[in-house]
């Protein structure tokens, strides 16, 4: 049973930084492709960033490109980070970690691509 656990959320002021972490259960078929999605109050969940199973290819949504950085702690992508800089109030959301073992990778921006999800961590940015 694959489990994902996010950590690192919190309350910060606009302009501050946060680093989210996601830990995934070890799996014999890893590496994973890992992604971050977020859901703001009253809005649909949206793609934020992903790191492919090769550990090198990364993807970002336009609103976070240049401010957020996704990285992996190991070659299996079982621990992934999302460094979030220059946070603004529009970044306030619940941030979810997602993972898939499927190769090749389908559309990294689609929720249906991912088989496993964490419970989320709240990020609140005050003005």
User: Distance between CA atoms of 51 and 69, rounded to whole angstroms?
Assistant: 10
**The predicted structure's pLDDT at residue 12:** 98
pLDDT band at 41 (very low <50, low <70, confident <90, very high): very high
* Burial classification of residue 114, based on how many CB atoms lie within 10 Å of its CB (0-12 exposed, 13-18 middle, 19 or more buried): buried
Sign for the CA dihedral angle at 20, 25, 26, 30 comes to negative
pLDDT-derived band at 91, boundaries 50, 70, 90: very high
To the nearest whole number, what is the mean pLDDT of the chain? 96
> Percentage of the chain surpassing pLDDT 90?
93
Tokens of 125: 């940015």
The DSSP letter of residue 11 is E
What is the rounded distance in angstroms from the CA atom of residue 101 to the CA atom of residue 20? 21
């Amino acid at each position: 049973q694959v489990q994902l656990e996010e950590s690192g959320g919190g309350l910060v002021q606009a302009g501050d930084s946060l680093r989210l972490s996601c830990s995934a259960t070890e799996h014999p078929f890893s590496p994973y492709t890992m992604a971050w999605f977020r859901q703001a109050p009253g809005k649909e969940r949206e793609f934020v960033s992903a790191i492919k199973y090769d550990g090198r290819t990364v993807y970002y949504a336009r609103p976070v490109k240049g401010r957020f950085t996704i990285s992996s702690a190991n070659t299996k992508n079982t621990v992934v980070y999302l460094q979030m800089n220059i946070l603004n109030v529009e970044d306030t959301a619940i941030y979810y970690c997602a993972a898939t073992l499927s190769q090749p990778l389908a559309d990294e921006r689609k929720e249906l691509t991912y088989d496993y999800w964490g419970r989320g961590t709240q990020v609140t940015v005050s003005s």
